[in-house]
């Protein structure tokens, strides 16, 4: 899909227009103090699917949810006393906390890539804060660059990579910090998942401990864990055009007459990505032993969808 990308400044009218685009499910590039983010409504499956499409990401890794303050973040993440203390000390600022998520908070499962934790960030940039307040909801935002390219620190970088793929960019000049936020995992004790704009030493001083850097934010909490979290109970078969008797068949595109459900009846990859995690759950609860997925083309978002389906189909350890 090719669209016209509008370039906004930072007047109150510009911010209101950008918030309106987010509300309508559109995508907005916006400045934070670290790097420019590519924002979409974190509750809107289709908007989140379009973030992955615009970036051309070959897999669904979890996104950071941006909020204007800690109070509003509590609707989405469970804050321990330790998390509250860090939030009070470092937010707003270049620190992302990975926390247990609040069940039923309405976040799209694509945002967390099916994990039961969520990454929360309260940015300090005044334009980011104004946009988040005007939108008044959770904004999923990876860095606003095509997958595999460096993070953008100016609106021109965002346009160079994503013009024609997103609705708008809010130009607030160069980012002050210039590297992404530091990511601290607080799900099973503090783990530094990514070095970034807040020095690890500052976190260590606040926590009173030395941080381990065992985790890897690119491959959250070990790829195996990610895979098994999304592994349905039922067996999963891929590229099935002719399901077996009694098998639960998930179609894609118009040629799947008789399918029990469809990722997208019209064969729209954005719709399929938006439906994927919901359908995995529903199919698993309704299937009688085996789920068969119709072929999904290995192009654009189809690569990320197939990556996730292959994980669901992969043999896995029990327990
Ligand atoms: O400074 C930043 O953090 C920028 C601005 C836009 O806020 N955002 C950013 O997002 O760098 P992104 O998507 O490029 O990086 C997010 C990282 C990913 O490496 C992802 O794996 C990790 O956060 N992450 C997100 N949720 C996670 C989770 N539940 N567990 C572990 N890692 C997670
Ligand atoms: Mg990035």
pLDDT tens string, the chain, 319 residues long: the values are: 689 999 999 999 999 999 999 999 999 999 999 999 999 999 999 999 999 999 998 899 999 999 999 999 999 999 999 999 999 999 999 999 999 999 999 999 999 988 889 999 999 999 999 999 999 999 999 999 999 889 999 999 999 999 999 999 999 999 999 899 999 999 988 999 998 999 999 999 999 999 988 655 444 443 334 444 567 889 999 999 999 999 999 999 999 999 999 999 999 999 999 999 889 989 999 999 999 999 999 998 999 899 889 988 987 655 4
Q: What is the CATH number of the domain that holds 252?
A: 3.40.50
Among 106, 51, 49, 44, smallest CA distance to 77 is for 106
Residue 228 within a domain: no
The answer, yes or no, to whether any atom of ligand 1 lies below 6 A from the CB of 61, is yes
Domain identity same for 166 and 117: yes
Domain identity same for 69 and 181: yes
Smallest-distance ligand from the CA of 61: 1
Question: Which stretches of 80-234 are assigned E, i.e. beta strand?
Answer: 95-100, 117-121, 139-140, 168-170, 182-185, 191-194
219 Cα nearest atom in ligand 1: 21
Question: Which stretches of the chain are assigned E, i.e. beta strand?
Answer: 6-8, 28-30, 37-41, 64-66, 95-100, 117-121, 139-140, 168-170, 182-185, 191-194, 235-237, 248-251, 261-262, 290-293
Residue 319 within a domain: no
Q: Which domain holds residue 82?
A: 6-213
Domain identity same for 164 and 252: no
Q: Total domain count for the chain?
A: 2
Instruction: Please tell me the predicted confidence (pLDDT) of residue 114.
Output: 83
Domain identity same for 60 and 172: yes
Smallest-distance ligand from the CA of 150: 2
Tell me the per-residue pLDDT of 252-296, one tens digit each, with 9 for 90 and over. Answer: 999 999 999 999 999 999 999 999 988 998 999 999 999 999 999
Substitution site in 186, 217, 221, 225 for ligand 1 pocket (most atoms within 8 Å of beta carbon): 217
Ligand 2 geometric centre to CA of 38 (Å): 10
Q: What is the CATH number of the domain that holds 174?
A: 3.90.870.10
Domain identity same for 196 and 307: no
Partners of residue 183 on adjacent β-strands: 96, 194
48, 108 contact by CB (below 8 A): yes
Residue 144 within a domain: yes
Domain identity same for 39 and 174: yes
Residue 226 within a domain: no
The model's pTM: 0.90
Smallest-distance ligand from the CA of 188: 1
**DSSP H or E run through 223:** helix 223-230
Tell me the per-residue pLDDT of 125-153, one tens digit each, with 9 for 90 and over. Answer: 999 999 999 999 999 999 999 998 899 99
Domain identity same for 148 and 207: yes
What per-residue string of b and e applies to 267-296 under the rule 16 or more CB within 10 Å gives b?
bbbbbbbbbbbebbeebbeebeebbbbbbb
Domain identity same for 209 and 266: no
Domain identity same for 200 and 101: yes
Instruction: Please tell me the predicted confidence (pLDDT) of residue 188.
Output: 85
Domain identity same for 244 and 205: no
Quick one: how far is CA 145 from the chain centroid? 14
Residue 219 within a domain: no
Ligand 2 geometric centre to CA of 257 (Å): 40
Cα 50 to Cα 44: distance, rounded to the nearest angstrom:
10
Instruction: Please tell me the predicted confidence (pLDDT) of residue 115.
Output: 87
Residue 31 within a domain: yes
Domain identity same for 121 and 251: no
Among 260, 270, 258, smallest CA distance to 296 is for 270
């Amino acid at each position: 899909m090719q669209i016209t990308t509008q370039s906004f400044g930072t007047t109150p009218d510009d911010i209101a227009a950008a918030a309106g685009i987010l509300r309508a499910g559109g995508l907005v590039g916006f400045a934070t103090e670290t790097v420019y983010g590519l924002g979409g409504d974190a509750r809107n499956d289709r908007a989140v699917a379009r973030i992955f499409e615009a970036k051309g990401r070959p897999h669904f890794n979890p996104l950071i949810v941006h909020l204007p303050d800690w109070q509003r973040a509590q609707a989405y993440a469970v804050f321990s006393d330790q998390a509250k203390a860090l939030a009070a000390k470092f937010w707003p600022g270049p620190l992302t906390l990975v926390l247990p998520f609040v069940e039923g908070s309405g976040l799209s499962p694509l945002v967390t890539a099916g994990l039961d934790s969520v990454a929360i960030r309260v940015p300090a940039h005044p334009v980011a804060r104004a946009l988040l307040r005007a939108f008044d909801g959770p904004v999923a935002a990876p860095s606003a660059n095509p997958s595999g390219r460096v993070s953008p620190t100016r609106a021109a970088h965002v346009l160079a990579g994503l013009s024609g793929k997103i609705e708008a960019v809010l130009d607030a000049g160069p980012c002050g910090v210039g590297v992404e936020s530091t990511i601290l995992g607080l799900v099973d004790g503090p783990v530094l998942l990514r070095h970034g704009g807040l020095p690890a030493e500052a976190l260590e001083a606040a926590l009173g401990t030395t941080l381990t850097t065992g985790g890897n934010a690119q491959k959250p909490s070990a790829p195996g864990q990610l895979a098994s979290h999304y592994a349905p109970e039922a067996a999963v078969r891929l590229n099935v055009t002719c399901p077996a008797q009694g098998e639960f068949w998930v179609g894609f595109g118009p040629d799947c007459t008789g399918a029990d459900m469809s990722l997208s009846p019209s064969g729209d990859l954005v719709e399929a990505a938006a439906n994927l995690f919901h359908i995995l759950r529903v199919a698993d609860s309704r299937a009688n032993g085996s789920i068969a997925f119709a072929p999904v083309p290995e192009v654009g978002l189809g690569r990320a969808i197939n990556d996730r389906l292959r994980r669901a189909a992969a043999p896995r350890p029990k327990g």
